[in-house]
Amino acid sequence: MCQLVLPEMRRKGWGRIINVSSMGGEMTIPFASFYHATKYAVESLSDGLRIEVQPFGIDVVVIQPGGINTPLGHQTVAAIPTEMGSAYAEALRGFRHVSNLAIQAAQMMVTPDQVAQVILEAIQADHPLTRYKVNTNDTRTVNQERDVTDRQRDAAFRQQFGLTNPQS
């Protein structure tokens, strides 16, 4: 889509591209790495594109929702495999449990309307931010991620999801 609209934006000398990513583009949890990879890609594309098109008066903005209270969360949890023969069966049970707890805390999630309101704010801003984080609870989680080492975070996730050495 960017390739289609950029020539006209450059010709006019202004424009705004708004990409919707996720706070999942700044952190990764086990068993969701494919999802996170797509969000990291949106983040990277947006960061590079912003630098490239700014001289033409074009802004690139990233919207980073955290948890959004929609039926998708329930559908995603329901799709988590539960095969008992899997090497990851116990960890997947842990992942399902943690995911269900997150969904039950729906009051901590934002609504689709709140995300739309932030997108509208980014569209209407005279000088938009480069990133708009939509869920303050998830923002705290992302910020806490920055305060620990990779090994500390990995150990916490292994413990949380029961990912222990099968030899022990």
Report the catalytic residues: 35
Q: Which residues contact 135 (CB under 8 A, 6 or more apart)?
A: 23, 65, 66, 67, 68, 108, 109, 110
Residue 49: in which H helix or E strand, if any? helix 33-53
Could you give the 3-state DSSP secondary structure of residue 83?
A: coil
- Most distant pair of Cα atoms in the chain: their distance: 64
